[in-house]
Amino acid sequence: MFGYVNANRKQLSDDDKVNYQRFYCGLCQELHNQAGFKGQMLLNYDLCFLAILLQSLYEPEVTTKKFRCVIHPISPKHAYISTATEYAASMDIILSYHSLMDNYQDDNSSISGAAAASIRKHYNKVKAKYPRQTKAVEDYIEKLSAAEKRKETNIDVVSNYTGEMLACLFDWKEDNWSPFLRSIGFYLGKFIYIIDAYDDLKKDEKTGNYNPLLFMKQDCSKDFETFVRANLTSLIAECAKSFERLPIVDNADILRNIIYSGVWTRYEYLHIRDKKTEKSV
């Protein structure tokens, strides 16, 4: 649904690259288990992070599945399968279904509508199993739609909606770790919303589509880039603070790579791209 929470593979050790790929393949295999090949098309790096985080915190039993990948068929692949990857796959289906339906309703995209219809029965199964999380996503879509209609200018208000929704999804078991997991999800959600708005900024300037950062750009003028970077930095700092309070040992380097480095890769790319564009004008 988002795709901004991925690893900086260049900075991972060889062993961590292998483990990260196995979690990613595990998420893909779980999506196939729940929704077939259509489910695998929903594969998302953000939910891979969730799978690794929950696996590393709760340490449920994990099995290594050897399989042949249709996309990469030359050599056998290995996937980590556990209740954590199952949960992350279910959350992927919830988010993806609503994203497709949102595209269908807002843009009248027949492709998105058909894709949503193709996974509806799988979504309904997940909804029955995880009603709390499904309601959180439904409420999020409703609040975000209302904010767009009223042209909400306060990006802190709008980004809170994404934060509140991800906080609920990160809170797998509603137990002693809930405050920390909810905090990670909340601040990561706000970060995702802002960087997604930043990603769409130039396009929305041309089309006139709603984007709360456009209002901030008009107000901040020359300080706009500083404002965006400062906000993103403070949000990830809060996310990291909650992560470091968790007793995670396994895969800690992978998770730190994602939080401290990986989430910035898209922003850095956009920043460099925009500078090159400015120079060429």
pLDDT score for 72: 76
The whole-angstrom separation of Cα 55 and Cα 89 is 13
Amino acid letter for position 220: C
The whole-angstrom separation of Cα 95 and Cα 124 is 12
Residue 65 · residue 79 · CB < 8 Å: yes
Longest dimension (CA), the chain: 56
Supply φ then ψ for residue 80, to 5 degrees.
Answer: -90, 125
**Mean pLDDT, 10 residues at a time, the chain of 281 residues:** 86 96 95 90 92 98 90 86 97 92 74 88 96 97 93 94 98 98 98 93 89 85 84 96 97 97 89 64 49
pLDDT score for 267: 87
125 CB-near residues (< 8 Å, 6+ apart): 34
Domain coordinates in residue numbering, the chain: 131-247
pLDDT score for 279: 59
pLDDT score for 274: 64
